Amino acid sequence: MKHFRHFREVLTLSFSIFLSSFTPSGTLRAQNPFVQTWFTSDPAPMVHDGKMYVYTGHDEDGADFFWMQEWRVYSTEDMVNWQDHGSPLALESFSWADDRAWASQCVERDGKFYWYICAHSKLSGGMAIGVAVSDTPVGPFRDAIGKPLFENGSWDHIDPTVLIDDDGQAWLMWGNPQCYYLKLNRDMTSYSGELGRLDMTEEAFGSPMMNKREKGKKYKDSYVEGPWLTKRNGTYQLLYAAGGVPEHISYSTAPHPTGPWKYAGEIMPLSETNSFTNHCGVADYKGHSYFFYHTGKLPRGGGFGRSVAVEEFKYNADGSFPTILPTNEGVKPIQTFNPYRKVEAETMAFSRGLKTEQNDEVGVYVADIHNGDYIKLQNVDFSGNMQKQFAARVASGLRGGQIEVRIDSLKGHLLARLEVPGTGGWEKWQTFTADFAEKAEGTHDLYLVFTGRKARNSSTSTGGKSAACSRSSWKMAEQAHTRLS
Ligand code: FUB
Residue 7 inside a domain? The answer is: no
Residue with the smallest CA separation from ligand 1 atom 3 is 102
What is d(CA 371, CA 352) in angstroms, rounded to the nearest whole number?
11
251 and 109 assigned to the same domain: yes
Q: What is the CATH number of the domain that holds 374?
A: 2.60.120.260
Residue 10 inside a domain? The answer is: no
Residue 42 Cβ inside 6 Å of ligand 1? The answer reads yes
Alpha-carbon 298 to chain mean position: 13
Mutate which of 40, 41, 104, 228 for ligand 1? The one with the most ligand atoms within 8 Å of its CB, which is 41
Q: Is residue 370 helix, strand or coil?
A: coil
Contact (Cβ atoms closer than 8 angstroms) between residue 10 and residue 272: no
Residues 6+ apart with CB under 8 A from 20: none
> In the prediction, which pLDDT does 249 show?
98
Residue 296 Cβ inside 6 Å of ligand 1? The answer reads no
233 and 352 assigned to the same domain: no
417 and 294 assigned to the same domain: no
What is d(CA 68, CA 335) in angstroms, rounded to the nearest whole number?
34
126 and 248 assigned to the same domain: yes
Residue 172 inside a domain? The answer is: yes
Residue 23 inside a domain? The answer is: no
pTM, to two decimals: 0.90
Residue with the smallest CA separation from ligand 1 atom 2 is 102
SS3 helix, strand, coil % of the chain, rounded to 5?
5, 45, 50
205 and 71 assigned to the same domain: yes
280 and 194 assigned to the same domain: yes
Q: What is the CATH number of the domain that holds 309?
A: 2.115.10.20
Order of all β-strands in the sheet with 180-184: 161-164, 170-174, 180-184, 191-197
425 and 280 assigned to the same domain: no
73 and 134 assigned to the same domain: yes
Residue 350 Cβ inside 6 Å of ligand 1? The answer reads no
Residue 208 Cβ inside 6 Å of ligand 1? The answer reads no
Residue 305 Cβ inside 6 Å of ligand 1? The answer reads no
Domain count, the chain: 2
Domain assignment of residue 219, given as a range: 32-313
125 and 274 assigned to the same domain: yes
Q: Tens of pLDDT along the chain (485 residues)?
A: 445 555 544 444 433 222 222 333 334 578 999 999 999 999 999 999 999 999 999 999 999 999 999 999 999 999 999 999 999 999 999 999 999 999 999 999 999 999 999 999 999 999 999 999 999 999 999 999 999 999 999 999 999 999 999 999 999 999 999 999 999 999 999 999 999 999 999 999 999 999 999 999 999 999 999 999 999 999 999 999 999 999 999 999 999 999 999 999 999 999 999 999 999 999 999 999 999 999 999 999 999 999 999 999 999 999 999 999 999 999 999 999 998 888 899 999 999 999 999 888 788 989 888 889 999 999 999 887 565 788 888 888 878 889 999 999 999 999 999 998 888 888 888 888 898 888 788 999 999 999 987 644 332 222 222 222 232 221 111 111 112 22
Report the nearest atom of ligand 1 relative to the CA of 100. Answer: 2
With CA atoms as reference, report the closest residue to 129 among 139, 140, 115, 141: 115
Residue 413 inside a domain? The answer is: yes
> In the prediction, which pLDDT does 5 show?
56
With CA atoms as reference, report the closest residue to 198 among 172, 170, 164, 230: 172
Q: pLDDT for 248-280, tens place per residue?
A: 999 999 999 999 999 999 999 999 999 999 999
Residue 279 Cβ inside 6 Å of ligand 1? The answer reads yes
299 and 352 assigned to the same domain: no
Sign of CA dihedral 376, 379, 382, 384: negative
| Cα distances (angstroms) measured from residue 84 to each of 35, 89, 263, 476 | 9, 14, 37, 19
> In the prediction, which pLDDT does 16 show?
29
Residue 41 Cβ inside 6 Å of ligand 1? The answer reads yes
Q: Is residue 158 helix, strand or coil?
A: coil
